[in-house]
Structure 1
């Protein structure tokens, strides 16, 4: 039996988390949502995730800070960033396989990024 593809959704806006969770479930993914990067780090779920979809600008730790924190811990979980500031994020060195989706984004684009990220995952 194939293991479920688990997507962590990290966003400080509840309506975004709820909407994205429902959307991803409709595509057959298992979605887990977190209201902050700190809430995500406080769980053991980082090791179980197939992919992380994170807002960039949140209260407290940013999505970029989360990305770097996990990288220093040796995590290779693929990231997809969702942001209203895509040009700003595009200038950072986040790796060639990291997706940055400008808000608003198309559902198909998000799903394509998740498919690519999870197929490349070990």
Structure 2
């Protein structure tokens, strides 16, 4: 299952549609808190998450997951990419940060790479 965490409903639904079209199950969450409280973390193979969201950011969610003992691969996306943000993501061992809208082919390649290595 791929969990999609994004406060923008249009982005969330587009990502879910793409993931489903590639043959994976997708669940959607409007916030990091909603995902963390969902009870579905154990069933999640990968997360596609926005960085900037109200409440917890995608980066803060990643840190909480690690603190809870979950090393779930995360694909970070943002509408506001910067070099500093890219460096922060790289320091956490995540794949490169992608600017919205993310190319469907790139998402497919990343999911295949991340899920085949598990």
TM-score, normalization by structure 2: 0.91
1:12 & 1:117 partners in 2: Cα distance?
Answer: 24
1:111 & 1:88 partners in 2: Cα distance?
Answer: 26
- RMSD (CA atoms): 1.2
2:85 & 2:46 partners in 1: Cα distance?
Answer: 18
Query: Which residue number in structure 2 is paired with residue 3 of structure 1?
Result: none
Match of 1:58 among 50, 53, 71: 53
1:76 & 1:119 partners in 2: Cα distance?
Answer: 15
1:102 & 1:19 partners in 2: Cα distance?
Answer: 15
Deviations 1:73-101 (A, max 9, x none): 11111000001215232211111x53421
1:42 & 1:112 partners in 2: Cα distance?
Answer: 29
1:106 aligns with 2:106: no
Runs of 4+ in 1 over 2 A off after TM superposition: 86-89
TM-score, normalization by structure 1: 0.88
2:84 & 2:55 partners in 1: Cα distance?
Answer: 19
Aligned partners of 2:2 and 2:46 also within 8 Å? yes
What is the count of residue pairs matched by the alignment? 115
